[in-house]
Amino acid sequence: MNFPSASHSAPHWRGFTPMADFDELVVREGQGCWLTTTDGHRLLDGISSLWCNVHGHRHPKIDAAVIEQLGRVAHVTTLGMSGETTEILAQRLAQITPGDLAHTFFSSDGSSAVEAALKMAFQYWRQCSEPQPEKTQYLALGSAYHGDTTGAVSLGGIKYFHQLFAPILFSPLRGPVPCTYRLPAEVSSESACDFYTQQFDAILRQHHSTIAAVVMEPLVQGAAGMITHPVGLLANIRRLCDQYNVLMIVDEVATGFGRTGKLFACEHENVTPDILCVGKGLTGGYLPMAATIARPHVFDAFLAPATESRQFYHGHTFGGNPLAAAAAIASIDLIEETDLISTVDRKAKHLRDRLSVLGVHPNVGDIRGRGLMVGIEIVADKTTKATFDSADQVGRKICQAAVQRGVWIRPLSDVIVAMPPLVATDDELDILADAIIDSIRCSLPVTKTAPEALQCSSPSR
């Protein structure tokens, strides 16, 4: 496949894309796990159209639900009123989310869901039964990523995404990066959970009187490079939040709706956050929708007669859009009817087993993740875990090679991401694995005398 360069006069300004230097791909249609470009090439959607597609493209049940809703009403506001389909979805979310999460505030994307959560927690501490208006800070993880709106960017700890905007951001308290790959020399994998728990404990012990909430992704920090947390850390942070009277906001925009092998990643450790943020897979990847879901004690702080002005001071035009709600209900129905989540662990094992051959490659430092969210970290030196110079664009070159082999993936710096739709078949997972394996071999060739498992083969097209 030939990649035409983007024009400096390109009418479509793409996000996180160097507009003077990128490979032009335009999709005409999709079916199942496959995309077809305008020049007729078929590509396996190896990142679920940015981690959101659950059931594949053009699923007949979700298509039909959106068409049926379009025959009734396309949009009504949720400011002072609502649509019937949106009300049904809010009830369904109360039923399927962990614990007593029961009150849903809708928005259009994950960043907005996190932004709403920050404001919700801030306002809560001014209106709860025992107000503590001094709670104005947030504790975020190292290398955090929670979106691109101003509040969400403020939580972020990834230099390339966030340092440019520092003058207009607030500064959170910053916790450690609880990574199981790059552990301090004195910390073993067995002691990692206790080590990081003690660090969070120290911060909360010192600052709890001014902290409104801890904000974190559970189990896996996606955009940070598929950083995988020690088992048990999520539950320990929940315990610390209770101990120090701090709200817990969990961002499941990427991990929710089956991606980790449970409907919500929190369920792996029996955790119910005070506020849960979801998006991406909420509508099966069909339409923009996100949700900020609160427990009753949070919601109750906003209940009062209109004259007291305690309502939540936040709201968007398209929050709770009925077309998106219809897609979300159909997606949830499909998850339940097909028992889709029960297949994720087996598929994840199949994909990891296929990728395990990369373990002997001198530039593959780690293969990690949970469920069907996998990150393969490429390093310059396997022993020291030293990274390549960013100017080498190693991750980008590997993903370009994968496109030549019929698979669309996108890197996080030099971490290669594999996040196929949850409905991907074993054959499709094999295609994904083969493309990644061969693209790494060919982009980072080793000596011709190396084992066959490390040798490059030419793309099929």
Interval 228-242: pLDDT, tens: 999 999 999 999 999
Average pLDDT over residues 364-385: 97
CA 408 – CA 400 distance, rounded (Å): 8
Residues 6 or more apart whose Cβ sits within 8 Å of residue 258: 54, 281, 335, 340, 341, 344, 371, 422
Residues annotated in a binding site for pyridoxal 5'-phosphate: 110-111, 251, 316-317
Q: What is the greatest pairwise CA distance in the chain?
A: 79
Angle ∠(120,104,294) on CA atoms, nearest 5: 50
Listed by start position, the domains of the chain span: 61-338, 341-454
Q: Which residues are known binding-site members for substrate?
A: 145, 280, 315, 410
- For 122-154, the pLDDT digits (tens) are 999 999 999 999 999 999 999 999 999 999 999
Decide which of 226 and 18 is more confident: 226
pTM: 0.95
Residue 461 predicted with pLDDT over 60:
no
Cα angle 73, 112, 258; round to 5: 80
**Confidence check: pLDDT of 22 > 60:** yes
Alpha helices in 3-109, H assignment, sequence order: 48-51, 60-70, 84-96
110 φ/ψ angles, rounded to the nearest 5 degrees: -60, -40
**Which of 3.40.50.720, 3.40.50.300, 3.30.420.40, 3.40.640.10 would CATH assign to domain 61-338?**
3.40.640.10
How confident is the prediction for the chain on average, in pLDDT? 95
Beta strand 415-418 with 173-174 is unpaired
Structure-token pair, residue 405: 């082999």
Q: What is the pLDDT of residues 77-116, one digit of tens each?
A: 999 999 999 999 999 999 999 999 999 999 999 999 999 9
| SS3 assignment, position 425 | coil
Residue 457, phi-psi category: left (phi > 0), alpha (psi -120 to 50), beta (remainder): beta
Same-fold call for 61-338 versus 341-454: no
Superfamily of domain 341-454: Aspartate Aminotransferase, domain 1 (3.90.1150.10)
pLDDT at 403 over 90: yes
Q: DSSP states of 333-370 as a string? A: HHHHHHTGGGGHHHHHHHHHHHHGGGGGSTTEEEEEEE
Residues of the binding site: 110-111, 145, 251, 280, 315-317, 410
